[in-house]
């Protein structure tokens, strides 16, 4: 994530579903220094089952999302520049481009703000993800789902690209939005392309 520019330092985190619950990245460990043994195994009740390190401070979000979305295999949270800028404006990404459908719906919602690492934030994210595969997080960053980690990473890059394009378009005027019928057609096409992942 750092090499691709969607995180800086130790910001952001990721999890993947496993038979006993989920593996989540540890707190405050630089990505380049992580080894498999650093991952923390937790169950869907929030209990640490294995791991010598503390789980990510945002483990509540990962637990809540994976519990609410049984088809999701991975969750990725990041702080990319443009998606985070929109999140700080508390703006959804509307259907200004057909690729918004990569977020799983007609738009990419911005979850309401709550204190980082809180259960309330986890609840807001689950709500914003209803019927979606991606959301922004007010004054915070973005979060995406995937069938696996590579798909989640790909989706995060698409959302950041959309955020960049949307911000650029807004510098000129409000972009023309695609209507619901057209977005529904695009969403059907995405199913054929295997873009559904949560």
Active-site residue list: 58
Structure tokens at 47: 């209990």
- The span from the CA of 112 to the CA of 123, in Å, is 9
Name the pairing type of β-strands 48-50 and 21-24. Answer: unpaired
Q: 47, 56, 52, 54: which is closest to 15 by C-alpha?
A: 56
Cβ neighbours of residue 5 under 8 Å, at least 6 residues apart? 80, 81
Residue 181 neighbours by CB distance under 10 Å: 8
- Rounded distance between C-alpha atoms, residue 46 and residue 83, angstroms: 28
């Amino acid at each position: 994530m750092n090499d691709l520019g969607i995180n800086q330092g130790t910001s952001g985190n990721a999890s993947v579903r496993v038979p006993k619950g989920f593996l989540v990245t540890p707190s405050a460990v630089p990505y380049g220094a992580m080894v498999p043994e650093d991952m923390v195994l937790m169950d869907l009740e929030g209990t640490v089952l294995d791991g010598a390190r503390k789980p990510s401070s945002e483990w509540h979000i990962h637990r809540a999302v994976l519990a609410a979305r049984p088809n999701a295999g991975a969750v990725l949270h990041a702080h990319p520049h443009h998606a985070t800028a929109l999140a700080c404006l508390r703006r959804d990404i509307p259907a200004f481009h057909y690729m918004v459908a990569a977020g799983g719906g007609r738009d990419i919602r911005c979850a309401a703000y709550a204190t980082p690492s809180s259960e309330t934030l986890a609840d807001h994210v689950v709500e914003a993800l209803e019927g979606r595969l991606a959301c922004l997080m007010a004054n915070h960053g973005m979060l995406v789902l995937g069938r696996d980690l590579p798909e989640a990473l790909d989706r995060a890059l698409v959302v950041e690209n959309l955020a960049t394009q949307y911000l650029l378009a807004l510098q000129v005027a409000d972009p023309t939005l695609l209507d619901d019928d057209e977005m529904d057609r695009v969403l059907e096409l995405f199913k054929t392309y295997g873009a559904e992942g949560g």
